[in-house]
């Protein structure tokens, strides 16, 4: 159907997140029907991004400049570093415009069960950024999973001796969430982290 080139294209597209063979076939067909307006600009953009975008040497964010736009921004509060698991989490926080400090992307979480240790993550760079002395607070914005919590505890143990304030993002009732549909663990976390009204 359409020759090996089309099958190859569908095969590559179907490996992308959110895409399966059927949606990849639809996307490929749409592009092939309008190669000049859709396919060639996309190919050019893909090549351009692949060549230009690299991980930031300071924080691990993906950007076409190094240091990245966030690290290079002089208006950012350089005394606060928000530690996130991946670039997707960084983008989510930036989209919400709730953090005005810098970031640090770990590139994953420690997993004692899967054997992922500190040396497999971007942790030494975080510790060296803290050791430079400009940082006053580290926010651990990691997932509420066993691995995320293990990473947060491990980082807390490592950072505490430096005297830098360490905070963690809150856990509990989501916006628009009703208590009766929450699981026991979320309810327990919400009650444990309650604050004065």
CA distances 31 to 42, 152, 170, Å, are 9, 44, 44
Nearer to other proteins, 124 or 185 (CB): 185
Residue numbers 94-123 binding other proteins by CB under 8 A: 112-115, 117
Q: Is 183 a residue that touches other proteins (CB under 8 A)?
A: yes
Q: Is 176 a residue that touches other proteins (CB under 8 A)?
A: no
Using DSSP bridges, classify how beta strands 62-63 and 54-55 pair: parallel, antiparallel or unpaired: antiparallel
Q: Looking at 42, 146, 165, 191, which residue binds other proteins (CB under 8 A)? A: 146
CA distances 93 to 7, 85, 141, 169, 194, Å, are 38, 12, 10, 12, 23
78 three-state secondary structure: strand
Report the nearest approach of other proteins to the CB of residue 149 (Å): 4
Q: Cα separation of 91 and 179, whole Å?
A: 29
Nearer to other proteins, 32 or 173 (CB): 173
Report the nearest approach of other proteins to the CB of residue 153 (Å): 4
Q: Indicate the helix (H) or strand (E) that contains 101.
A: strand 101-105
Is residue 127 within 8 Å of 62, Cβ to Cβ? no
Nearer to other proteins, 111 or 122 (CB): 111
Interface segment toward other proteins; rule CB under 8 A; list 67-75, 83-91, 101-109, 177-185: 177-185
- Residues of this chain that interact with other proteins (CB under 8 A) are 17-18, 112-115, 117, 144-146, 149-150, 153-154, 156-157, 183-186, 188-189, 192
């Amino acid at each position: 159907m359409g020759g090996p080139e089309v099958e190859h294209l569908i095969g590559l597209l179907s490996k992308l997140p959110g895409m399966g063979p059927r949606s990849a076939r639809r996307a490929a067909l749409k592009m092939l029907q309008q190669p000049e307006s859709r396919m060639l600009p996309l190919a050019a953009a893909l090549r351009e991004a692949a060549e230009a975008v690299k991980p930031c040497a300071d924080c691990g964010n993906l950007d076409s400049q190094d240091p990245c736009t966030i690290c290079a921004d002089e208006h950012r509060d350089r005394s606060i570093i928000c530690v996130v698991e991946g670039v997707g989490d960084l983008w989510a926080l930036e989209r919400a415009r709730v953090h005005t400090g810098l970031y640090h992307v770990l590139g994953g979480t420690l997993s004692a069960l899967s054997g992922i240790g500190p040396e497999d993550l971007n942790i030494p760079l975080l510790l060296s950024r803290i050791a430079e002395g400009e940082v006053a607070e580290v926010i651990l914005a990691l997932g509420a999973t066993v691995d995320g919590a293990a990473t947060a505890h491990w980082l807390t143990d490592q950072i505490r001796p430096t005297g830098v304030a360490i905070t963690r993002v809150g856990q509990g009732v989501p916006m628009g969430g009703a208590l009766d549909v929450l699981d026991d663990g979320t309810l327990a976390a919400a009650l444990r982290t309650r604050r004065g009204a």
